Amino acid sequence: MIIKKSNRLVLGNWKMHGSILENTILLSKLRNVDHSLHCDFGILAPFPYLSQVLTILHGTKICWGAQNISMYNFGAYTGEVSAAMLKEFGCSLVLVGHSERRILYKETNLDIAGKASAALSLDITPVVCFGETLDEYNSKKTFSVIESQVSSILELGGKSVSRMIFSYEPVWAIGSGSAASPEYAQDIHAFIRGMLHQVGADSIRILYGGSVKASNAASFFVMPDIDGALVGNASLVTDDFLGITKL
Ligand code: PEP
């Protein structure tokens, strides 16, 4: 799928949810949508279901990917999944640096850059996530946190970064039911856009994530530097997810 900045992108992050039966129902509804009424959209599924996603979505305009990737190509890395393995299951995208992985699994900026590179090496688009925690937000460290997270990815160079998607996700908004205000998110997106300009990667898409639903998504989409959404909970209910992609 060709991803253009002019087209809005909405990605559903299933996290560790789903079952073969539930996925069949959800994916079958997604595959039957009239794409002329929806923006570009895709889903990020748990590893064991990628084969099922490939089978049901193959031949559609919907893109899909995984929620994590190894920074290594192969070898003695028990439990890890390589870029080549994701490629075999038709993944065109992979989440990298989601806050749940940064916080719960202690992934560092260096790990995240390594994973983004591994994805790019096989033409899988990394969707790189950035965001401040509640403590950092309360102590007014948002811009410095975002600057250090984004800088470590920009070290990969403008050419590489131009092939990525970024997603700003304030950690305090994820799964809380309460999104950031669109104006607040726009300020951070504009800040990230300024950093991207310095490496000549002006036109990549920057998604907003954190309690996006059909009832608030439009207020983000009107913002000049918000190019779509990364959606967690609302992506598990087909009508809620399609309510966002249809705006
Ligand atoms: C996410 O998982 O990245 C996310 C944004 O979740 P939610 O939409 O549930 O806040």
Alpha carbon 200 to chain centroid, angstroms: 21
**In DSSP terms, which residues pair with 228 in a beta bridge?**
9
Return per-residue pLDDT of the chain as tens, 247 residues.
Answer: 333 335 899 999 999 999 999 999 999 999 999 999 999 999 999 999 999 999 999 999 999 999 999 999 999 999 999 999 999 999 999 999 999 999 999 999 999 999 999 999 999 999 999 999 999 999 999 999 999 999 999 999 999 999 999 999 999 999 999 999 999 999 999 999 999 999 999 999 999 999 999 999 999 999 999 999 999 999 999 999 999 999 9
Tokens of 91: 């993944």
Residue closest via CA to ligand 1's atom 2 equals 232
Kindly report the CA angle at 188 between 152 and 119, in degrees rounded to 5? Answer: 40
**150 with 195: CB under 8 angstroms?**
yes
Q: What is the pTM of this model?
A: 0.96
d(CA 79, CA 69): 11
Residues in contact with ligand 1 (CB, 6 Å cut-off): 13, 15, 169, 174-175, 209-212, 230-234
Cα 194 to middle of ligand 1, angstroms: 25
Tokens of 117: 């590179």
From 43, 166, 169, give the residue whose CB has the most ligand 1 atoms within 8 Å, as the site to mutate.
169
Tokens of 125: 């688009």
In CATH terms, 9-245 corresponds, of 1.10.10.10, 3.40.50.10420, 3.20.20.70, 3.40.50.2300, to 3.20.20.70
From 129, 212, 220, give the residue whose CB has the most ligand 1 atoms within 8 Å, as the site to mutate.
212
In the chain, where are the structural domains located? 9-245
Tokens of 205: 């898409």
Mind telling me the catalytic residues?
A: 98, 169
d(CA 198, CA 143): 17
